[in-house]
Amino acid sequence: MILLDRVTKTYNRKLGPSLDRVSLHVEPKEFVIVVGQSGAGKTTLLRLLTREERPTSGKIIIGGIDYDKLKDKDIPLLRRKIGVVFQDFKLLPNKNVFENVAFALEIVGVSNREIRHTVPKVLEIVNLKGKEKRMPRELSGGERQRVAIARAIVRQPRILIADEPTGNLDPKHAWDVIKVLEKINRYGTTVLLTTHNQDIVNKLKRRVVTIQGGKVVSDRANATYDGK
């Protein structure tokens, strides 16, 4: 589902690579946690996957799409196949919960009838039923992040990338978000989660890839994380 082969990303040659020959293979329906301290290269990795950045060298293939052969005009089509959740939610402040989720469908030309049918179902999955009319400013951090997740999964992507989705949340809301991600994974979506929250990693007991100084230093199943 996700294949990185010796991927290197260098922004400034004097500072050295932000990612250094990273290789990673994620199977369909897997739940993989990428851990590492701030500046380790987690966000760079995710930005490469969403094609916000190009690798300096190495190969990336996601869902059968070879990034070397991907033209700029086809980037939107790639992003439609990947759901992305951001640490800062990236919700549209002038749209309510329903409209924020519907927005992801509107931009790909889904009909209004289908939107009215699909969005409530997704809001139910993320436990936001009844809050459709709320504006983002009227929601807690956890609720906002669940709106962002709903928006990311409403197009039923095969891959969901979550970049530190619990970074701005208190423990209770953080766990609400993680439970939603687990639920989505159970439905068959491949989840790639980046975090540096020890507690979450240790309780989830999933495959953990540790990045340090831009390199993958460990890749273990049912692993724990000591925060280093």
Partner 1 sequence: MHKRFTTLGRILHTGVLNFMRNISLAIAAMAVMVVTLTIILFSIITNATFENTIAQITNKINISVFLNDTTTDTQAKQLVADLKKQPSVHRVVYLNKEQALQSFIKDNKENPATVTAASQTGNPIPATIQVFPSNLNEIQHLKEYLTTPEREKLQTPRSPSYNGKRKEAIDNITHATNVLRQIGALMVAVFAVICALIIFNTIQMAIFNRRDEITIMRLLGAKTSYIRGPFVVESAIYGLLSAVLSVLIINSAFLASSNALQASSLGLLDINYASKYFGDHFWALLTLQIAIGIIIGTVSSVIATRRYLKFKTK
Q: Which residues of this chain interact with partner 1, rule CB under 8 A?
A: 11, 50-54, 72-73, 75-80, 84, 86, 90-92, 103-104, 106-112, 151
DSSP H helices, 21-167, are 42-49, 75-81, 97-106, 112-125, 141-153
Q: Which residues contact 13 (CB under 8 A, 6 or more apart)?
A: none
* C-alpha–C-alpha distance, residues 24 and 6, integer Å: 8
Q: Where are the beta strands (DSSP E) in 86-214?
A: 159-163, 190-195, 207-212
Query: Beta-carbon neighbour count of residue 43 at 10 Å?
Result: 20
Burial class (CB within 10 angstroms; exposed 0-12, middle 13-18, buried 19+) of 212: middle
* C-alpha–C-alpha distance, residues 193 and 171, integer Å: 16
Half-sphere exposure of 174 (CA within 13 A, CB side): 18
**148 within 8 A of 136, measured Cβ to Cβ:** no
Half-sphere exposure of 107 (CA within 13 A, CB side): 12
